[in-house]
Amino acid sequence: DAKTTQPPSMDCAEGRAANLPCNHSTISGNEYVYWYRQIHSQGPQYIIHGLKNNETNEMASLIITEDRKSSTLILPHATLRDTAVYYCIVRAYGGNKLVFGAGTILRVKS
Amino acid sequence: EAGVAQSPRYKIIEKRQSVAFWCNPISGHATLYWYQQILGQGPKLLIQFQNNGVVDDSQLPKDRFSAERLKGVDSTLKIQPAKLEDSAVYLCASSLVQGIADEKLFFGSGTQLSVL
């Protein structure tokens, strides 16, 4: 599975959009981009995933560049409860392992 | 819907002792995973079950770690004997169907193990 690169940490003001980047320049055509987050003292939580089209759900939006080499997770109105570690993962359709990197620590500040 | 249940929540043992963790996945979920998360790192997969069969245990230190899922439902992970470097959070996750694009893993809150 392709590796991803994320910034180690980011800050965001409460109520503003949080844009979390992820680089996956070696992604293959059959690999999906997944986002999970982990709030302190909890297990990771699924957020969203996509292949090449932009995706939106009740939690977030996922924007994937046309060449699929990078993506951005957008939390449209960040709250203090969104403070967490955010993991960007690429995995092939039908792939077994979900391989977590170090992720991005997002701190939402009032 | 009940989530993934894990126990105990915390465990403190001395090195060379044994310890066991228990996980009850979401009802109906065929796939069960055990992850190890060392402080400051992302979770690392230890073992994956599909029903009661092992799909992937390539990163399980088999000289000291063992896991079972006897009836395809709940699972136990055992460490015997424990080493200092086993101090970590042990996370259990489950999913309805493995290997599809829409597979979503649901995680428990984990067991925090401290080996002294």
* Distances, alpha carbon B44 to alpha carbons A88, A95, B105, in Å: 14, 16, 14
Burial of B22 (0-12, 13-18, 19+ CB in 10 A): middle
Query: Looking at residues B100-108, what average pLDDT do you find?
Result: 83
Q: Two tokens at A15?
A: 């109520």
Contact across the interface for A96 and B41, Cβ inside 8 Å: no
Interchain contact, A51 vs B43, CB within 8 Å? no
User: What is the residue type of B75?
Assistant: S
Which residues of chain B does A98 touch, with a Cβ-Cβ cutoff of 8 Å?
Answer: 33, 45, 105
Q: What is the pLDDT of residues A44-99, one digit of tens each?
A: 999 999 999 899 999 999 999 999 999 999 999 999 999 999 999 988 766 667 88
Question: Residue B98: pLDDT band by 50, 70, 90 thresholds?
Answer: low
pLDDT of residue A95: 65
**Tens of pLDDT along B18-58?**
999 999 999 999 999 999 999 999 999 999 999 889 999 99
- How far is B103 from chain A, CA to nearest CA, in Å? 9
CB contact under 8 A, A43 and B91: yes
Residue of B nearest to A42 (CA): B109
C-alpha to C-alpha distance for A62 and B22, rounded to whole angstroms: 35
SS3 annotation, chain A: CCCCECCCEEEEECCCCEEEEEECCCCCCCEEEEEEEECCCCCCEEEEEECCCCEECCCCEEEECCCCCEEEEEECCCCHHHCEEEEEEEEECCCCCCCCCCCEEEEEEC
User: Chain B: residue nearest A35 by CA?
Assistant: B104
Burial group, residue B23, by CB count within 10 angstroms (0-12, 13-18, 19+): buried
pLDDT digits (tens, 9 = 90+) for A5-34: 999 999 999 999 999 999 999 998 888 999
Nearest Cα of chain B lies from the Cα of A99 at a distance, in angstroms, of: 7
Residue B68 has pLDDT above 80, yes or no: yes
